[in-house]
């Protein structure tokens, strides 16, 4: 073997590790086997280490020996002859540069290096190396296009730590160069230059994978949690900041390392090793879902486990345990730098005692509650707590439970620790699951160690199985299961099933206790057989035998007279033991074969030799025990003795390696039970046989090519025919393949030339690549010629296959058993890429004229293979082939003469391509059918034009009529709009006068200061302890007095408030209470309170600036004590101003708005009104209504005085009651009035007739799925009618309707309450959804805008809805005076009203109307977003 160096590189390395002189230079080389002398060099190569001093020393020795006249120059290939070395007296030293003599000098001595790494797959092609951080790093390019990175620390410490694909399938050429910065290496392949980083540390995500990779460039940057070079890690020189040692990876342990999902927060102690200083702080995070602050100590870190509300999101709420990652996160870098497993366990999902107490976690089983918990105190009784498996209630297997079908019997089970059901708990039950059906049987607990399923019977359907395994369980209290082994089951069996005969019955499993009942002729239990003592037969009885044996089949039916035939006899009742069975076949004794005997069903016996020369056929006779009539039988079939023979073999010759399928023809060769064929002394592998032939596969010849005789052995008979022989010939050989290439898909033709090919029956060609073997078929032409279809090979990326070809790992032939040709060594078979063809564009159709050439474009159409052989292409246009001209990129095909559209199909090497369809059109003159068609088409086109003109004329007349009709409608609409505007103006003048008159004499219900202040300070608390006079002990009284003195100390009070606010548990409610109580205590010293409040606000502003919050967010929400105190401060100071100044105009504005809205219709469902300030809530339809004046009887008056009240006939009953209550209780606070829902409206007609009016009753109108609320017009209430408000009359109907109506309104109310943005406009109309019980939808004046029954686009008799916007102007004009009065009062200077300057603290007025929503009205006033209630708020 010769070695040729592919590359040599000299460099200084860590020579001390190599065991060499520290001053030496080294050379790394990669060498392969005889590369220059082989067209396809093998891929076996080795990386070697040489020292340059050793090489120089050997060169010096060679020069010295030659100049001393020893040997030859050893360069015949250069000098064309071999010359002797010429001796000289010159001394050769290290600086010798040569003389004219003895030049040039060659050498034949081998210089041995140190092998470092062997490569057998890819093959080394180039080498580059350098030293890094005390390591020698070698980069090797391969012929497969990969870069291998190798770390060399010593001759015995060589690590291939990474392989990088560079140019797949293309060899890396010999020159490799490092980049200027040394961070990359440049490689050259055939067609490109590639730049690859010398390290890829960033791909490693963990310390173990980073430092375990073996890459000397990589280390772990701890706090940045990344793999990188040391130079890329910040502050890498500090201790434990950067490590390159695998043993110094960060190690984290947590104690405890688990927690229950239902446990409160735990304090976790974390021990972490190999970390730098954590003075910047760390946090603990649990799987990105929960994070807590960590406390860093000298030796440990502490943090809290997640809270209860966070645990379900971490665990997912599934499983008995869930492992999450507990990470430590550095505040310095924001990166996680350590992690460990933390387990959350859930005992409650464990449903059995054994699984509970066997858990890896501290779970306890509550025996009487049948639950698993981590908290043992949840168990009802101390004695019911189970902590180990010994205390678990459990069913103990004591043996198999056998249950006969249909037999009523109890089942007693042994157990332990069975709980006694407590009061209210149900008793025990046995639950059996039989064929998917559940059968529950009452059970009795005798004591804690025994339970019995009570008497009952069991059964299962069908007789396909004699026994059925049945799962069962023991439960108590209906669903509390007692533990038992899952394999412990009951066995339910039927004696008659699958035991139709006596023999099958007696051989049944003795555990079943089944026996044969003679009178019944069935297999039964003893108790079900009449007179069982004499009629019931069981296996346990002595000499139990079944009568009436029967033979159903015998095999074989023929055999040689010499005997040895094994006869198989099948039937029923064939004895229970082979010793009691006696068999005779055709008068010849047949001996039982015990190993093949099947009790009662089958017996196999071996024939003895027949002593009769020509024995006649006979039956099989069989006796059980004795041969009396009832124990004796014979077969219906006859057994015949025959003499087998053979007379020919085909084929008569085959290869000496064997594998030929031989067919031996003869007579009776199917006789007997066994057959063997021998060629000389070697057995032929049996395949099959029939009456006249035997097929077997020839063995390898022990004596090479030679004739052999055939010996046939059937049982004990030996048959030999000296006239029949078989000829072993020499194995076939292969001498030539043409062509010696194919495409990846294979199936191209190969002509094979060789010898003795005709002796092969089923020749195949094979190829193996990347461990995958493929085969294809061959066809024998003659003894020296064979044609084959090349096998394909599977390549992962066919696009990357080499243009110069790809060689399979093995290529050869499967020729019967000839193994020498399975892999050919004399030739190299090459595979080229598959040809590909382009389609006919996006449409897939190509149009041409007849006789034109068709150009089919593609790639790899002509593989770059040697020789003149080309791929055989077939192009079919339709079903017609075309003549081809082939080039590397296209196929030129002559199109056929026919016209029309035809599919194009291209066949090559087993591949099929269809680029599309070819459309061939003729350019000749028009034919007669075409002319007729064109004429007919023209006539149809002319007729269509005439029809279109007539239709256009008719359409024009219709359009004129429509235009006139629209003109009339527009004139009508214009007049109606003008009328509406006139009415709106008249209403405006009238409304201003009426509203001014109605507001005279209105009494304002002011609240007293105490009530006003308490509602602001302590909202929702009617009877606060501050208002009570309580008796307290003297010491408490003294403590409160001293605390009151401390409150007057500014420093104490500020510190007190700041300390409370720093507490996590100090809630928003607590902040409000502290602020309110503080202001109550300080209301006598408002100057001191103002100074204190100023300091608190200053601190709040500074805190807001420090947290870098937006200034606009300050004072937006009451989130601090200072903000709440500011609110209370304004409350105290505004009372006098509101009562004396701003209160009256504000209340008058409220009353004015209310009266103006109620003057017109208001929809009780949607809240839309005729008179509104909101465009969104304006009724945009013409609603017909009438003003009524009702006489309301005062409910509290004794004399029955009546009050006139104005209402609308379109008002609902609830709206009418509200207006009556407003009139009757005018000037009384809202909270002191009765509620409308607590009163009934009674219509009095005379002295006797009285009708209670309701929003919904039996008279309510329902159209389709819409139900309309009852109005006064619905009841036909007339003007001047007398009505009365009476207490609510309770009835079942009233309750139901009240509930339905209230529930329906609540839905609309919530929707109306959220509709505060003007952007939504009419899209905010509530969705009227059907009532879930009645399926109807309520409406009052207008239906939902989106409903099909009511759309704005359906104009009909409606006007354009926008003309009703004039009502907005009318309402605004009516209320303008009251708005002006309010703002004039608020903006004026009031001496003594408020102790601060009004322009900088403008009073903002808010009005929130809840009238249409059934709520009390509320008026509010505040400054700069801080709102306080006015003193006349009574709702």
Torsion sign across C-alpha atoms 165, 166, 168, 169: negative
Residue that has been written with the tokens 């003679």 in this structure: 518
What's the pLDDT band for 1323 if we cut at 50, 70, 90?
very low
Percent of the chain with pLDDT over 90: 37
CA distance 882 to 688: 50
CA distance 662 to 695: 6
pLDDT of residue 316: 62
Q: Is the pLDDT higher at 1156 or at 636?
A: 636
Residue 383 CB partners (closer than 8 Å, separation 6+): none
Percent of the chain with pLDDT over 70: 84
Residue that has been written with the tokens 């042994």 in this structure: 414
CA distance 899 to 851: 10
Contact present, 1282 and 1244 (Cβ < 8 Å) = yes
Q: Is the pLDDT higher at 41 or at 1137?
A: 1137
Q: What is the mean pLDDT of the chain?
A: 82
Highest mean pLDDT among 618-632, 1022-1036, 1109-1123: 618-632
Per-residue pLDDT reduced to its tens digit, 808-823? 989 999 999 999 999 9
**Region of poorest pLDDT, from 689-703, 1099-1113, 1127-1141:** 1099-1113
Bridge partners of residue 736, in order along the sequence: 753
pLDDT of residue 330: 93
Question: Roughly what angle, to the nearest 10 degrees, separates helices 1086-1106 and 1050-1061?
Answer: 40
CA distance 939 to 931: 12
Residue that has been written with the tokens 């399979």 in this structure: 808
User: 1183 burial class (0-12, 13-18, 19+ CB within 10 angstroms)?
Assistant: middle
DSSP-derived secondary structure for 597-627: -BTEEEEEEEEPPP-SSSPPPEEEEEEESB-
Q: Is the pLDDT higher at 390 or at 1118?
A: 390
Residue 661 has pLDDT above 60, yes or no: yes
Residue 385 vs residues 371, 415, 422, 982: alpha-carbon distances, Å: 10, 18, 15, 89
Adjacency order of strands within the sheet including 785-789: 733-738, 749-755, 785-789, 772-782, 764-769, 810-814
Per-residue pLDDT reduced to its tens digit, 203-235? 999 999 999 999 999 999 999 999 999 999 999
Per-residue pLDDT reduced to its tens digit, 101-152? 767 888 888 888 888 888 888 888 899 999 998 899 999 999 888 999 999 9
Residue 427 has pLDDT above 50, yes or no: yes
**Region of poorest pLDDT, from 626-630, 735-739, 895-899:** 895-899
Per-residue pLDDT reduced to its tens digit, 461-478? 988 888 999 999 999 998
pLDDT of residue 321: 86
Residue 1151 vs residues 260, 357, 987, 1293, 1412: alpha-carbon distances, Å: 62, 73, 19, 36, 14
Residues 771-782 have a mean pLDDT of 94
- The number of angstroms, rounded, from the C-alpha of 377 to the middle of its chain's C-alpha atoms is 40
Per-residue pLDDT reduced to its tens digit, 513-567? 999 999 889 999 998 898 888 889 888 877 788 999 999 999 999 999 999 999 9
Contact present, 31 and 50 (Cβ < 8 Å) = no
CA distance 132 to 215: 10
Per-residue pLDDT reduced to its tens digit, 324-367? 899 999 999 999 999 999 999 999 888 899 999 999 899 999 98
Contact present, 937 and 926 (Cβ < 8 Å) = no
What's the pLDDT band for 985 if we cut at 50, 70, 90?
low
Contact present, 835 and 859 (Cβ < 8 Å) = yes
Read off the tokens for 947. 């029809």
CA distance 1281 to 1204: 10
pLDDT of residue 1313: 40
Read off the tokens for 610. 């027949």
Q: Is the pLDDT higher at 371 or at 104?
A: 371
Residue 1058 vs residues 46, 763, 1053: alpha-carbon distances, Å: 78, 99, 9
CA distance 883 to 104: 64
Residue 919 has pLDDT above 90, yes or no: no
DSSP-derived secondary structure for 1334-1357: T--EEESSS--TTSTT--TT--TT
Read off the tokens for 1025. 């302890």
Residues 1193-1215 have a mean pLDDT of 84
pLDDT of residue 1181: 80
pLDDT of residue 700: 94
Which residue, 628, 686, 689, 698, is CA-closest to 662?
698
Query: Strands 830-832 and 741-743: what pairing?
Result: parallel
Q: Is the pLDDT higher at 1428 or at 710?
A: 710
| Peptide bond preceding 256 in cis form (omega within 30 of 0) | yes
Residue 913 CB partners (closer than 8 Å, separation 6+): 836, 837, 905, 906
Residues 1216-1230 have a mean pLDDT of 85
CA distance 742 to 801: 13
pLDDT of residue 1396: 36
Highest mean pLDDT among 673-687, 1087-1101, 1405-1419: 673-687
Read off the tokens for 741. 């290439």
Read off the tokens for 998. 């109605």
Residue that has been written with the tokens 């019955």 in this structure: 505
Q: Is 1430 helix (H, G, I), strand (E, B) or coil?
A: coil
Contact present, 327 and 223 (Cβ < 8 Å) = no
DSSP-derived secondary structure for 304-359: EPPPTTTHHHHHTT-SSEEEEEEEEEETTTS-EEEEEEEEEE-GGG--SHHHHHTS
Residue 1030 has pLDDT above 90, yes or no: no
pLDDT of residue 1330: 55
Number of Cβ within 10 Å of residue 746's Cβ equals 22
Residues 830-853 have a mean pLDDT of 86
Which residue, 1404, 1405, 1407, is CA-closest to 1417?
1407
DSSP letter (8 states) at residue 1270: P
Read off the tokens for 1403. 């009073």
Contact present, 851 and 922 (Cβ < 8 Å) = no
Per-residue pLDDT reduced to its tens digit, 1347-1384? 444 444 343 344 455 666 777 777 887 788 888 888 88
pLDDT of residue 1430: 37
């Amino acid at each position: 073997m010769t070695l040729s160096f592919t590359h040599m590189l000299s460099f200084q390395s860590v020579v001390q590790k190599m065991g060499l002189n520290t001053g030496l230079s080294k050379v790394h080389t990669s060498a392969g086997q005889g590369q220059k002398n082989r067209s396809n060099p093998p891929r076996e190569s080795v990386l070697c280490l040489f020292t340059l001093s050793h090489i120089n020393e050997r060169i010096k020795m060679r020069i010295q020996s030659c100049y001393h006249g020893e040997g030859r120059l050893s360069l015949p290939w250069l000098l064309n002859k071999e010359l002797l070395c010429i001796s000289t007296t010159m001394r050769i030293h290290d600086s010798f540069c040569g003389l004219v003599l003895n030049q040039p000098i060659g050498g034949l001595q081998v210089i041995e290096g140190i092998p470092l790494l062997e490569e057998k797959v890819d093959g080394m092609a180039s080498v580059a190396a350098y030293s890094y951080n005390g390591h020698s790093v070698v980069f090797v390019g391969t012929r497969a296009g990969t870069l291998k990175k190798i770390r060399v620390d010593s001759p015995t410490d060589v690590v291939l730590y990474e392989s990088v694909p560079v140019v797949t399938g293309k060899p890396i050429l010999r020159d490799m160069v490092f980049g200027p910065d040394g961070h990359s290496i440049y490689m050259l392949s055939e067609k490109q230059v590639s730049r690859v980083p010398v390290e890829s540390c960033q791909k490693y995500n963990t310390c173990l994978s980073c430092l375990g990779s073996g890459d000397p460039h990589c280390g772990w940057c701890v706090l940045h949690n990344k793999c990188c070079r040391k130079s890329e890690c910040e502050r890498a020189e500090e201790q434990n900041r950067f490590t390159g040692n695998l043993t110094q990876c960060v190690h984290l342990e947590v104690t405890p390392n688990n927690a229950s999902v239902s446990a409160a927060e735990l304090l976790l102690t974390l021990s972490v090793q190999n970390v730098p200083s954590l003075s910047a702080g760390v946090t603990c995070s649990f799987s990105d879902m929960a994070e807590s602050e960590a406390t860093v100590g000298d030796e440990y870190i502490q943090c809290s486990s997640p809270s209860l509300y966070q645990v379900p999101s971490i665990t997912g709420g599934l499983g008995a345990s869930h492992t999450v990652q507990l990470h430590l996160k550095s505040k310095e870098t924001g990166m996680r730098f350590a992690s460990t497993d933390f387990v959350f366990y859930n005992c409650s999902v464990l449903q059995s005692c054994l699984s509970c107490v066997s858990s890896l976690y501290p779970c306890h089983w509550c025996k009487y509650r049948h639950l698993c918990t981590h908290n043992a105190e949840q168990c009802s009784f101390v004695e019911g707590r189970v902590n180990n498996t010994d205390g678990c209630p459990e069913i103990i297997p004591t043996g198999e439970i056998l249950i006969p079908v249909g037999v009523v019997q109890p089942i007693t089970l042994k157990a332990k620790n069975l709980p006694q059901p407590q009061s209210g708990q149900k008793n025990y039950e046995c639950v059996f699951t039989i064929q998917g059906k559940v059968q529950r049987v009452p059970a009795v607990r005798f004591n804690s160690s025994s339970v019995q399923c009570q008497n009952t019977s069991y059964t299962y359907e069908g007789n396909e199985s004699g026994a059925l395994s049945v799962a069962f369980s023991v439960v108590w209290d209906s669903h509390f299961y007692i533990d038992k082994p899952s394999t412990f089951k009951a066995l339910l069996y039927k004696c008659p099933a699958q035991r139709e005969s006596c023999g099958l019955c007696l051989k049944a499993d003795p555990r079943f206790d089944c026996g044969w009942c003679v009178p019944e002729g069935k297999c039964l239990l003893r108790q079900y057989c009449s007179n069982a003592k004499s009629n019931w037969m069981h296996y346990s009885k002595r000499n139990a035998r079944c009568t009436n044996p029967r033979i159903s089949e015998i095999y074989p039916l023929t055999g040689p007279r010499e005997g040895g035939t094994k006869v198989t006899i099948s039937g029923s009742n064939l004895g229970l033991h082979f010793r009691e069975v006696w068999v005779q076949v055709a008068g010849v004794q047949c001996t039982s074969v015990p190993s093949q005997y099947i009790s009662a069903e089958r017996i196999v016996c071996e024939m003895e030799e027949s002593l009769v020369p020509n024995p006649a056929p006979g039956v099989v006779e069989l006796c059980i025990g004795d041969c009396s009539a009832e124990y004796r039988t014979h077969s219906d079939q006859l057994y015949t003795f025959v003499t087998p023979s053979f007379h020919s073999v085909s084929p008569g010759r085959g290869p000496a390696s064997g594998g030929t399928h031989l067919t031996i023809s003869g007579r009776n060769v199917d006789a007997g039970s066994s057959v063997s064929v021998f060629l000389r002394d070697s057995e032929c592998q049996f395949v099959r046989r029939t009456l006249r032939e035997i097929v077997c596969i020839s063995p390898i010849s022990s004596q090479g090519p030679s004739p052999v005789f055939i010996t046939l052995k059937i049982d004990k008979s030996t048959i030999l025919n000296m006239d029949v022989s078989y000829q072993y010939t020499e194995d076939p050989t292969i001498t030539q393949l043409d062509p010696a290439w194919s495409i990846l898909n294979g199936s191209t033709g190969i002509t094979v030339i060789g010898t003795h090919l005709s002796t092969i029956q089923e020749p195949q060609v094979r190829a193996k690549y990347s461990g995958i073997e493929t085969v294809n078929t061959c066809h024998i032409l003659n003894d020296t010629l064979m044609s084959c279809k090349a096998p394909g090979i599977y390549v992962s990326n066919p696009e990357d296959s080499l243009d110069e070809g790809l060689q399979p790992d093995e290529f050869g032939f499967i020729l019967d058993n000839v193994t020498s040709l399975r892999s050919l060594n004399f030739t190299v078979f090459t595979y080229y890429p598959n040809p590909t063809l382009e389609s006919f564009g996006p449409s897939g159709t190509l149009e041409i004229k007849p006789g034109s050439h068709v150009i089919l474009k593609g790639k790899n159409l002509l593989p770059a293979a040697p020789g003149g052989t080309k791929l055989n292409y077939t192009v079919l246009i339709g079903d017609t082939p075309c003549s081809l001209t082939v080039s590397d990129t296209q196929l030129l095909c002559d199109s056929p003469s026919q016209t029309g559209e035809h599919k194009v199909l291209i066949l090559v090497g087993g591949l099929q391509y269809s680029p599309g369809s070819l459309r061939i059109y003729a350019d000749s003159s028009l034919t007669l059918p075409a002319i007729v068609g064109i004429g007919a088409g023209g006539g149809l086109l002319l007729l269509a034009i005439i029809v279109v003109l007539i239709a256009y004329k008719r359409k024009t007349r219709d359009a004129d009529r429509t235009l006139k009709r629209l003109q009339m409608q527009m004139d009508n609409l214009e007049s109606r709009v003008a009328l509406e505007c006139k009415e709106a103006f008249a209403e405006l003048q009238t409304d201003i006068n009426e509203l001014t008159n109605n507001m005279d004499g209105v009494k304002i219900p002011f609240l007293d200061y105490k009530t006003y202040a308490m509602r602001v300070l302590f909202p929702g608390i009617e009877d606060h302890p501050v208002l009570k006079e309580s008796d307290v002990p003297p010491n408490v009284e003294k403590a409160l007095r001293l605390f009151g003195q401390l409150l007057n100390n500014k420093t104490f009070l500020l510190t007190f408030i700041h300390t409370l606010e720093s507490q996590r548990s100090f809630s928003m409610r607590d902040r409000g209470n502290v602020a309110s109580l503080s202001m109550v205590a300080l209301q006598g010293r408002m100057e001191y309170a103002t100074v204190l409040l100023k300091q608190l606000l200053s601190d709040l502003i500074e805190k807001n600036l420090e947290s870098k919050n937006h200034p606009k967010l300050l004072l937006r929400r009451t989130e601090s004590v200072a903000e709440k105190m500011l609110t209370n401060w304004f409350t105290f100071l505004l009372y006098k101003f509101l009562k004396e100044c701003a209160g009256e105009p504000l209340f008058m504005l409220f009353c004015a708005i209310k009266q103006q809205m109620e003057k017109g219709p208001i929809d009780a469902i949607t809240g839309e009104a005729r008179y509104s300030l909101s465009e969104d809530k304006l009724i945009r339809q013409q609603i017909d209504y009438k003003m009524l004046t009702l006489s309301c009887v005062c409910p509290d008056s004794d004399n029955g005085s009546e009050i006139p009240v104005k209402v609308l006939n379109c008002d609902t009953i609830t709206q009418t009651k509200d207006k009556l209550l407003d009139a009757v209780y005018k000037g009384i606070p809202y909270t002191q009035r009765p509620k409308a829902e607590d009163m009934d409206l009674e219509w009095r007609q005379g002295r006797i007739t009285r009708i209670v009016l309701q929003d919904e009753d039996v008279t309510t109108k329902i159209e389709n799925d819409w139900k309309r609320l009852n109005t006064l017009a619905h009841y036909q209430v007339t003007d001047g009618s007398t009505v009365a408000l009476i207490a609510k009359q309770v009835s079942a109907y009233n309750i139901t309707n009240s509930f339905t109506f209230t529930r329906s309104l609540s839905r609309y109310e919530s929707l109306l309450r959220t509709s505060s943005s003007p952007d939504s406009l009419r899209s905010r109309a509530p969705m009227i959804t059907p009532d879930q019980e009645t399926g109807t939808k309520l409406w009052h004046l207008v239906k939902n805008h989106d409903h099909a029954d009511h759309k704005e686009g359906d104009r009909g008799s409606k006007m354009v809805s926008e003309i009703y916007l004039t009502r907005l102007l009318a309402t605004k004009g009516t209320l303008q005076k009251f708005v002006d009065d309010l703002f004039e009062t608020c903006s004026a200077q009031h001496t003594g009203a408020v102790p601060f300057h009004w322009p900088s603290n403008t009073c903002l007025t808010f009005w929130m109307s809840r009238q249409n929503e059934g709520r009390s009205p509320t008026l509010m006033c505040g400054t700069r977003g801080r709102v306080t209630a006015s003193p006349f708020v009574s709702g």
